[in-house]
Amino acid sequence: MSVVGAGPGGLTCARVLQRHGLAVTVHERDAGPDARDQGGTLDLHADSGQLALRAAGLLDGFLRRARPEGQEMRQWDPSGSLAFRHVPDADALFKPEINRGHLRDLLLDSLLPGTVRWGRALDRVDGAPGGPRRLHFTDGTSVEADLVIGADGAFSRVRPALSPARPAYTGVSFLEAWFSDVDRRHPEIAALVGPGSAAAADGDRGMFAQRDSGDRIRVYLVRRVPADWLGASGLTADDTGAVRARLLDEYAHWSPRLRRMITDNEGPYVDRPIHALPVPHTWEHDPTVTLLGDAAHLMPPLGVGVNLALLDASELALALTSAATVEDAVRAYEKTMLPRSVEMARALDGAAAHLLSADGPGFGPDDAAGA
């Protein structure tokens, strides 16, 4: 079996398969585990993401690395007044936070050496429905597989083997900003955010900040803009001063305390337009190809993406360990996964606008960095 994508979903699937003695290879486009920043913090839910880690035998390892205090949430009014604060109970573990890189390390360390083939960027999957399937990589090499599992995120190169669907821009974009050594260098921002996350919005624009491990904070400036707003404005992502000047104008009526998250960031902003797959997204069953996570059901980042990806991964892997045939396993997995993802996607269809809502907290860009 070949898994494409070494994000949380792909690695969880491989771990559960190996735990039950099944052979699997993970193909990943990154040159190595440290090739790029893995993104911010994730909250793994007890009824989904944590269930998957239990199936992988990694729940205890997750809980040792997790940050229960990260469940605290604050909602600020743009004027700088605290409108809402949720402080979790000391023993609350329903959705503790974990750094995305720490979760990836936990999963990678659990796999047999050589499971992940780094620097393997997929170009396409071909072969007739029913197989055999061949994976073609951008370096000119190819491999054959009895089952291809697409865990390669929003712009999956496996998905076209099953579906013509492509993600569409939701009309909402994030600009990500980073802050390090925050308790010493950015004490005002650290105090605003606290140990968990903090949000503010006025209906047209928003701000979401998350405390990460290692005394870091990531801030996402949430705006309704065209997907190509940077180029259309004559700006580039690395022109930090010019981008900041535009943001300060857009957020001019916000509290100076909150505007520190615009003026004090370290390094350039990262532009992250938010995409989603059409709703519903389904496909005709094929016994040799299937999808999980964002490759199957990319949705706005409202706190469910990584949890669904892990749940997909564990359910698919467990089906493969118990079904009589690969075809039976894929069919059983999709019979559960597709209705669940369609129901959730319908609930979140158009909900990217909630990221700008001044009504209260409850969103978080847990998928903003991609799979």
- Three-class SS state of 326: helix
Q: Which domains does the chain have, with CATH numbers?
A: 2-70+95-166+277-354 (3.50.50.60), 170-275 (3.30.9.30)
Question: What's the pLDDT at 369?
Answer: 37
| pTM score above 0.95 | no
Assigned token pair, 342: 């369609």
Helix %, strand %, coil % for the chain, to 5? 35, 25, 40
Q: What is the pLDDT of residue 361?
A: 45
CA dihedral (57, 62, 68, 69) in degrees, to 10, reads 180
Predicted pLDDT of residue 356: 87
Neighbouring C-beta atoms of residue 219, cutoff 10 Å:
25
Structure confidence at residue 12 (pLDDT): 98
Helices and strands (H, E) in the chain, number of each type: 12, 17
What torsion, rounded to 10 degrees, do the Cα atoms 30, 34, 35, 38 define?
80
* List of E strands, 10-129: 25-27, 41-43, 73-76, 82-86, 97-99, 116-117, 122-126
> Could you tell me the two tokens for 309?
């990806």
DSSP state of 95: S
Residue 357: the pLDDT is 79
The pLDDT of residue 252 is: 97
Q: Using CA atoms, how far apart are residues 203 and 126, in angstroms rounded to an integer?
A: 46
CA distance 368 to 109: 24
In sequence order, what are the beta bridge partners of 128? none
The token pair at 132 is: 């055999």
Determine the pLDDT at residue 58. 98
pLDDT mean for each 10 residues of the chain (371 residues): 97 98 97 84 95 98 95 95 91 92 96 98 93 95 97 97 96 94 96 95 94 93 95 91 96 96 92 95 96 96 91 98 97 98 92 75 43 33
Helix or strand or coil: residue 302? strand
| Angstrom distance (rounded) from CA 75 to CA 78 | 10
DSSP H/E element including 306: helix 305-322
